[in-house]
Structure 1
Amino acid sequence: MKRPKNESVSNQGCGIFFLMVLAMMILLSIPFIIFINAAFFEKQMLISSGSPDDTYHIEISIRGHSNEILIEEVTTSSELSSFIETELLVDVASENIVIEWLSDTAAQIVVTGRDGAKNYFYFNANAEKEKIEQIF
């Protein structure tokens, strides 16, 4: 028996299988993308401290796994980022950072890096231009 020309066997099974495989790949890649974002791009808070009168608030954080810290003061919208040299393959940790408030408007930030070297940062709310600066 001959089949008429206008009737053809539809081959939709391969299309549905392709869409199912594509959907599974997308669903399985979501946790991987979330992990990569958290590991390399998400800001992680290390330490925060408020001034004695709670006028100013300093936050120190890092992005992902790096040795570059970000110092931010919320009230004055000041920020400074600095690279801290630590031991090989060791990230900057909150144990290495101390914020000492000298007054309500001034603070000294001490970060311990490689070989006990200390990197000093100074916050001065009354400064004209740079509110946060690195002292060498």
Structure 2
Amino acid sequence: MFICNHCPFVKHVNPEIVKLAAEYEKKGIGFIAISSNDVENYPQDAPDLMKDNAKQMGYTFPYLYDATQETAKAYKAACTPDFYLFDTNLELVYRGQLDDSRPGNGIPLTGRDLRRAMDALLEGKEIDQDQKPSIGCNIKWKA
């Protein structure tokens, strides 16, 4: 997933990300978070603060900094949060939203969309190709 520290959408979904990681890491799905934001113009996303945020949130997965932004470009990451799910052959099988919850819309966090994709993957079932794109803050690209 592509996330960052300052985005209100990421702050909103952080509790569900932590919950999903705790549940699905036990089932064999690995989680990795990447921040690719330009820290010169967005210092709140700097690596030292990422480390603090990861500890505070209780991340059980790596939270990596993409200093060159090459990883974000390779994945065509658009926003934070942006979720990707790969199968055992490292084929992309899901790219989309966590669920329909957004800051202030009153819809509870469930992780429904990503959860359904992970469950289907684990059960060897076909993953629904009707995948809603993530909505959040755009990646803060360097000039």
Instruction: Using structure 2 for the length normalisation, give the TM-score.
Output: 0.27
More helix, by proportion: 2
Structure showing greater radius of gyration is 1
More strand, by proportion: 1
Instruction: Using structure 1 for the length normalisation, give the TM-score.
Output: 0.28
Q: Which has the higher contact order (CA 8 A, sep 6+)?
A: 2
